[in-house]
Amino acid sequence: MLDRTVLKLLSPWLDRAAAGLVRRGVGADSVTLIGFGLGAVAALAIASGATLTGLGFVALSRLADGLDGPVARQTRPTDRGAFLDIALDFVFYASVPLAFAWADPARNALPAAVLLAAFIGTGSSFLAFAALAERRGLRNLALPDKGLYYLGGLTEGTETLLCFAAMCLWPGQFPILAGVFAALCVLTWVARLRAGWTLLRDPDRPA
């Protein structure tokens, strides 16, 4: 829901930072891998109970995730790079609830499992629609720079990161935050099912 607005605000700054990385010979795939590595450190910190440290690494990880696209566009975007980016992103997003479950299994395991199940719904609907939209040649004109058709919803990347930040700041509230966000993910899943059913109707009819 907020990704388009946030991307519009941050794009000029990300483009400038990306230009600096390009001048130094840093490639987009390297930025993607660095971002994933930082995300893994974030999950390990959260699992050990250092949630504020984890939050810092989450922020650094997502900064790298925001930079790999502009770096690619300023050099040479590739399908391989887009695949790597989305595949590692999904693992990162799953690692944070898992880390909270590891930190306090008795209190957090069930809420984390519910949230991860909700992530499966949003993630699968996102990727399934993107694959079929690509086959049909559909494009999201609102976000033309994305490697996949970016079907939005209530719980996009920005909202997820805000939820993760709240969890890190108030780890004792993880069960409540996970439950509320899982419910929002279910609403997103339902909305994406409706959008997919509408946009992927009979190919003989205009979308």
Q: Where are the domains of the chain?
A: 3-199
- Residues 65-84, mean pLDDT to the nearest whole number: 93
- Model confidence at 34, pLDDT cuts 50, 70, 90, reads very high
- What are the backbone dihedrals phi and psi of residue 39, each rounded to the nearest 5 degrees, phi first? -65, -35
* Residue-level pLDDT at 207: 47
pLDDT over threshold 80, residue 151 = no
Q: State pTM to two decimals.
A: 0.87
Report which DSSP code applies to 152.
-
Rg (alpha carbons) of the chain, rounded to whole number: 18
CATH topology of domain 3-199: Four Helix Bundle (Hemerythrin (Met), subunit A) (1.20.120)
3-state SS string for 66-81: HHHHHHHHHCCCCHHH
Q: Which of 50, 59, 10 is nearest to 164 (CA)?
A: 59
- Residues 62-67, mean pLDDT to the nearest whole number: 95
Q: How far is residue 94's CA from residue 121's CA, in Å, rounded to a whole number? A: 12
Q: 168: number of CA atoms within 13 Å, CB side?
A: 25
Q: How far is residue 203's CA from residue 194's CA, in Å, rounded to a whole number? A: 17
> Could you tell me which residues come within 8 angstroms of residue 52 by beta carbon, excluding any fewer than 6 positions away?
168, 169
Q: Which of 65, 47, 55 is nearest to 147 (CA)?
A: 65
Write the pLDDT tens digit of every residue in 40-62.
Answer: 999 999 999 999 999 999 999 99
